[in-house]
Amino acid sequence: MNQKSSSRSPEFRLAATALRGLREDLLRAPLAFRPLPPLRTDGPGWARVPERIRAVATWSVHVLVLVLAVITFAIGYSTDSDVEAQFFIGVFSAVPVALSLIRPVLAWWACLIMAPVTGNIGAFDSGYPWPPGSIAAMLVVMTVVAARTRPRAAAWMWSLAAVYVGLTTMMLSEDVQVIYNGPAFLLAVGLPLLLVSFLHVRRTAEREIVAQQREIVAQRTVTAVERDRRTLLEERTNIARELHDVVAHHMSVVAIQAEAAPYRVENPPPELEQAFATIRENAVAALTELRRVLGVVRAEDYEAPDAPQPQLSDLPRLLSNVQETGLSVELATTGAVRALPQGVELSAYRIVQEALSNVLRHAPGAAARVEVSHVLGGLGLRVVNEPGTADAPPSPGAGHGLTGMRERVQMLDGEMTAEPTAGGGFEVTVFVPVAAGTVGAGAVASVPATSSVASGAVEDTVPVPAQGCAVEDAVPSMLRKEPAEPHPESAA
């Protein structure tokens, strides 16, 4: 079927398409019940109109059509015929107009049929082939149908009316004296049809533009949400990667301390040795699971850093690097400096780093100040900058740095504010609570271990492994052993 259709000429396909439009618009379901909808009064132009007037205006179009039906009846009744003929001509002319309120296509066919009917009754004396009543009815019905359907239907109605004019003109005898109004009728009907079709096309185009704009806004909203979600996941992944070394460091310390603890007690009971062996096995298993989970969030090209993760003590070096780029920045530290949990130290360093990066990106030439406050309840950070002295270049990643900082602060149950200052600059303030008595991981330098031998007690020192290294590599060979056998003295 498709090959047969494609082999036909373009003229044939155009004619087939046109006939298909005629069938869909005027021949399919002419009896379909399609009541005229009420006039919409929710537009901006009706806002100042009182509510009562708007309620009445809702049905104003229906009232107008009924008034036009009465006028059409009066025009048909005024033809030069007897009283009974005048009445029927008026009724046959007005009924299609009223019918257009509920069945517009049927109303048009009724107008086309009633034109020769009323003419044969006696109305042809006032106009041929369109009596005055039929002209009024056709003007109203065709305008209503064209406004309620597509412009193609208006073209088909005018074309069929032209066919009717041609057929009736051929049937007209030369000796019959009538008022011939065929071409004048087509011209009179064509003008309002063109106007209504133009308004209909314009209204449809405006609706499509509004729908496209709404779709674009919805797509942009979805894109922005997905971009923010992706950025949030990336920031959380980066945080997970960085904190892996911190957690691995603590778990390594636990494993080493559990391995060395039995050597600090002379003649430890088997239950104690087994308990510490279980602790070490659990720590090693936790490290293994941690590496497996981290492998899911790491990219294929990700390489674990060889150097330890940065801490607050590395801020002077960070500020020195930033100053080399042209940013004037100063560091102020208040309070009693103490060792903090390594996760707090790392997050604080990253927050300051990202805040200074934002200054470089959005306020070129501005001076910045970094304040680190060691207070009793935690750690306070404040990064404030003055207005930039040059225009900032466009930055597609604007706002993502704040997302990462907020994620780090929320992870530590802290509080953060980021807002412009009164002078035109920007300020980032962070407070991270730290429980009293919490000791940072960096404060643990070594773990003393006591080895019990026959000749006496010999003290040794077990070094703490570097961040990220394997536990098996960090535990000295003298401490690696099989599960403890029962001690001879204890067995005795």
CA atoms within 13 A on the CB side of 295: 6
- Per-residue pLDDT at 170: 87
pLDDT tens figures, 353-374: 989 988 888 888 889 999 999 9
pLDDT tens figures, 191-222: 999 999 899 889 888 989 999 999 999 999 98
| pLDDT for 334 beyond 80 | yes
How large is the average pLDDT for residues 44-68? 86
pLDDT tens figures, 152-197: 888 889 999 999 999 998 888 776 678 889 999 999 999 999 999 8
- Per-residue pLDDT at 481: 37
| pLDDT for 151 beyond 60 | yes
Burial of residue 46 (number of CB atoms within 10 Å: 0-12, 13-18, 19+): middle
| pLDDT for 289 beyond 90 | no
- Per-residue pLDDT at 332: 93
Average per-residue pLDDT for the chain: 78
> Taking each helix axis from N to C terminus, what angle separates 400-411 and 342-362, rounded to the nearest 10 degrees?
160
| pLDDT for 391 beyond 80 | no
Would strands 415-420 and 456-463 be described as parallel, antiparallel, or unpaired? unpaired
| pLDDT for 254 beyond 70 | yes
- Per-residue pLDDT at 296: 56
> Which pTM value belongs to this model?
0.49
- Per-residue pLDDT at 407: 84
Contacts of 452 (CB under 8 A, 6+ apart): 263, 265, 266, 267
- Please say whether the dihedral angle defined by the alpha carbons of residues 157, 159, 160 and 166, taken in this order, is positive or negative: positive
Query: Burial code of 383-412, b = ≥16 C-beta within 10 A, e = fewer?
Result: bbbbebeeeeeeeeeeebbeebbbbbbeeb
11 versus 34: which is more confidently predicted? 34
| pLDDT for 485 beyond 60 | no
How large is the average pLDDT for residues 261-285? 80
Which region among 66-70, 453-457, 466-470, 476-480 has the lowest average model confidence (pLDDT)?
453-457
304 versus 387: which is more confidently predicted? 387
Cα 254 to Cα 122: distance, rounded to the nearest angstrom: 113
Q: What is the DSSP letter of 414?
A: -
pLDDT tens figures, 98-138: 999 999 999 999 999 999 999 888 888 888 999 999 999 99
- Per-residue pLDDT at 306: 55
pLDDT band at 482; cut points 50, 70, 90: very low
pLDDT band at 263; cut points 50, 70, 90: confident
472 versus 392: which is more confidently predicted? 392
Cα 244 to Cα 254: distance, rounded to the nearest angstrom: 15
Rg of the Cα atoms in the chain: 45
Cα 249 to Cα 273: distance, rounded to the nearest angstrom: 23
Contact predicate 51/119, CB 8 Å? no
225 versus 429: which is more confidently predicted? 429
- Per-residue pLDDT at 323: 86
Contact predicate 342/246, CB 8 Å? yes
H/E run at residue 458: strand 456-463
| pLDDT for 397 beyond 80 | no
Would strands 446-453 and 456-463 be described as parallel, antiparallel, or unpaired? antiparallel
H/E run at residue 483: none
- Per-residue pLDDT at 475: 40
Contacts of 307 (CB under 8 A, 6+ apart): none
Q: Report residue 274: phi and psi, to 5°.
A: -65, -35
- Per-residue pLDDT at 399: 54
Contacts of 426 (CB under 8 A, 6+ apart): 358, 359, 362, 363, 384, 385, 418, 419, 420
- Per-residue pLDDT at 244: 64
- Per-residue pLDDT at 153: 86
Residue located via tokens 């000796």: 175
| pLDDT for 83 beyond 70 | yes
Supply 349's token pair: 């360093």
| pLDDT for 301 beyond 70 | no
Query: How far apart, in Å, do the first and last CA atoms of the chain sit?
Result: 101
Supply 466's token pair: 């570097």
CA distances (Å), 406 to each of 235, 354, 395, 411, 467, in order? Answer: 10, 11, 20, 8, 25
Tallying the residues shown for the chain, one arrives at: 492
Supply 229's token pair: 């979600």
pLDDT tens figures, 435-463: 766 655 444 433 333 333 333 333 333 34
Cα 323 to Cα 369: distance, rounded to the nearest angstrom: 12
213 versus 307: which is more confidently predicted? 213
Would strands 426-433 and 378-385 be described as parallel, antiparallel, or unpaired? antiparallel
- Please say whether the dihedral angle defined by the alpha carbons of residues 184, 188, 191 and 194, taken in this order, is positive or negative: negative
Cα 413 to Cα 6: distance, rounded to the nearest angstrom: 70
- Per-residue pLDDT at 1: 46
